[in-house]
Structure 1
Amino acid sequence: MARRNAHPGKKEDTASRRLQAMELRKAGKNYRAIGKELGISEAQAHRDVATVVKSITKLSTETALEHQALELERLEMAMAAIAPQVQKGYLQAIDRWLRLCESRRKLLGIDAPAKQEINSNTAISLSKHNYSNMDAEELSRLYMTKLQNASEN
């Protein structure tokens, strides 16, 4: 048998009261004043505001995670598109790959911020390597090693 709600409209009343409490808090009222105005205790006014803040925080976090997932999908799509050129050793593609990797690491919070200085006169030679048997990750590591070595000189 279906259970009937003993207090029809109570959820709506509670939600409305919580929103009113939040509006009063945003207007600068303290919890005692909110409680008095809404006919509830100071503690209940605090719980109502805290519940609304928690809901907003949860929604914001979920939205941020959705945006992060979408951005990761876009980065992975771009990486998949240039992977063949990277594996063939095309330097422009490798450079783009590294930038995409950097964006991905930043988005995921993997790398700590680091200050790097690159001299525009630095030349990097990768011509001594056979790229045909290397995957994109190996190429990225090789390129980064060469870049670091060149910036140290």
Structure 2
Amino acid sequence: MGRPDKAVRAAIAQRRADAIELRLAGVDWLTVARKLAADPAINSDHIAYPQGYGIERFRNGQEPPDDKQLVNTACRDVRFALRERSSEQEEKAEELRALENQRLDKLFFVAYRQAVKDGNLPAIDRALRIMERRARLLGLDQPARTEVTGAGGAAIEITNAALDELEALISITEEAARGSN
């Protein structure tokens, strides 16, 4: 069995999009699976959903999948579709990062030339800001390590802390981090 043709791939993509939309709307897995089933006998709308779950069984006149098989297929479908969407978003983000990097190259070239040629202090500052932006964009800077200690550098023991105690501790930590910058 080869790769499905364009129409079949489109129908499968639509089924996956429908499954995600149903789950986002709060529909339970079994209802999603039955709504997207190929066999009208088990489809909640009593239609043959195009490229629906159990399509091969329906075409071959076999018994439709049971509820557990339908739910497993719907879950697998949604996981696959979400993974696919995530990788598409990552690719788009990479393209945008590359474009932003090219823009920074052009801006840096101008600022760097003025900074080096004329010793222009504002141009030096601008070049440094562009370098900082590039480092953030590309994740070149190492994350700052923060260690929270108690009095005299001793470990802080937290057993059962109330929310206000944890918020106070976070506030102290944030203030200490700002003070070290």
Q: Which bracket does the TM-score occupy, shorter chain normalised?
A: 0.5 to 0.7
Match of 2:86 in 1: 57
TM-score (norm 1): 0.63
Match of 2:115 in 1: 86
Q: Which secondary structure does the structure 1 equivalent of 2:108 belong to? A: helix
Structure 2 CA distance, aligned partners of 1:96 and 1:85?
Answer: 10
Letter in 1 for 2:79: A
**From 17, 27, 30, the counterpart of 1:29:** 27
CA deviation vs aligned residue, 1:104-134 (integer Å, no higher than 9, x gap): 11111112466xxxxxxxxxxxxxxxxxxxx
Against the structure 1 CA distance between its residues 94 and 34, is the aligned structure 2 distance closer, same or farther, given a 3 Å change threshold?
same
RMSD: 2.6
Q: CA deviation at 1:70?
A: 1.0
Larger relative contact order (C-alpha < 8 A, sep ≥ 6)? Answer: 1
Q: Which secondary structure does the structure 1 equivalent of 2:87 belong to? A: helix
Q: CA deviation at 1:16?
A: 2.2
Against the structure 1 CA distance between its residues 76 and 5, is the aligned structure 2 distance closer, same or farther, given a 3 Å change threshold?
closer
Unaligned runs of 5+ in 1: 115-153
Match of 2:71 in 1: 42
Structure 1 CA distance, aligned partners of 2:99 and 2:6?
Answer: 41
Match of 1:139 in 2: none
Matches within 5 A, 1:1-150: 9-39=7-37, 40=53, 41-88=70-117, 89-112=119-142
TM-score (norm 2): 0.54
Unaligned runs of 5+ in 2: 38-52, 54-69, 145-181
Q: CA deviation at 1:8?
A: 8.4
Tell me how many residue pairs correspond in the alignment.
112
